[in-house]
Amino acid sequence: MPPSSRTSPFSKGQCGTPARVPSRDLAVVLFALRAAILAAVALVVPACSTVPSAPADWSSWQSRRNESVGGTNGWTTVVGLHWLNEGDNSAGSDPTNQVVLGSERVPAFIGVFKRNGKLLSFTTAQGADVRCDGQPIERIELKTDVFPQPTKLQVGSISLVAIARGDRIGLRIRDPDSAARHNFKGLQWFPYDPAWRLQGHFVPFDSERKFRVADFTGSTQEFTCPGSIVFKAKGAEHRLDVFEEAGEDEFFILFRDRTAGASTYAAGRFLYVRKPGPDGHVEIDFNRAFTPPCGFTHFATCPLAPKQNWLSLAVRAGELKPTTAHH
């Protein structure tokens, strides 16, 4: 058909009557019109995302985190921390005791904790009801939290566990009826972002190093550091020293980034990363970065992120800062 005789689908005949269009040409025109509409829609409607979703265990991981903070043995139940002197340390609600248990549900005097170096025992006061594993006790040798199962003493609903931090031994006091637990509304996170699930490489040191790290109490704690994880993010290479804990198959990381104090906890966050295989490959999922215990109680002993683990970028992934952060 000569170009001059082609008929536009929008042209009109005399008196506004639509011109007749051959059926073959009409099909071509409709196909072109449909393609034009789809192209226009593509400009305003984003394409379906091909980014992988959160891992299958993401919700259960969040539930476990909420339980570790707001559960009956969570960090919001910690209401006291008492460092013990060498020798005898009397305990009870009376303020004249060395260990003052500030609860009206605790008798004035429950007994004596005796420290002999790293050894610790407890003798119950006459008439006091102190239990271990549900059984009344008169005297007991205590295991601290350096053991897998530290000894837990119970006075009514109040529990006491000995903790060891370097040369110090203290008593951590928990109350499941604490105000902090009652006021706990649950944790909040950035939306899960697969872009912050990064691939890295473990670079071991020539030999293990011992680092002393400042902690929340103003003291220091010693950690074993076997090397660093090197990874790329936001177009640059970054490095984080990792710590090793006995018997664990994950590295422990203390880090701070540019969200600290704004959208995340000011003192930094904790993260665990599975140890590498023979090839040194590791996966770092910053979506699992979480607030340390000192974000929920004054009576925690959290180590603080060392300066070499202060990242120069903003990691907008993981746990947001608590609404009632303590530091």
- pLDDT-derived band of residue 289, with 50, 70 and 90 as boundaries? very high
Residues 99-133 have pLDDT tens digits of 999 888 899 999 999 999 999 999 999 999 999 99
CB 230 within 8 A of CB 200: yes
- Indicate the SS3 state at residue 153: strand
Residues 214-262 have pLDDT tens digits of 999 999 999 999 999 999 999 999 999 999 988 889 999 999 999 999 9
Query: How far is CA 258 from each of CA 201, 215, 237, 302, 314, rounded to the nearest angstrom?
Result: 23, 20, 16, 20, 4
CB 107 within 8 A of CB 158: no
What are the two backbone dihedrals, phi and then psi, of residue 313, each rounded to the nearest 5 degrees? Answer: -125, 165
Residues 66-90 have pLDDT tens digits of 999 999 999 999 999 999 999 999 9
* Token pair of 271 as six digits: 């993260």
CB 231 within 8 A of CB 198: yes
Does position 51 have pLDDT exceeding 70, yes or no? Answer: no
Stated pTM of the model: 0.80
Q: Domains in the chain and their CATH numbers?
A: 73-179 (2.60.200.20), 188-309 (no CATH)
- Indicate the SS3 state at residue 142: coil
Does position 28 have pLDDT exceeding 50, yes or no? Answer: no
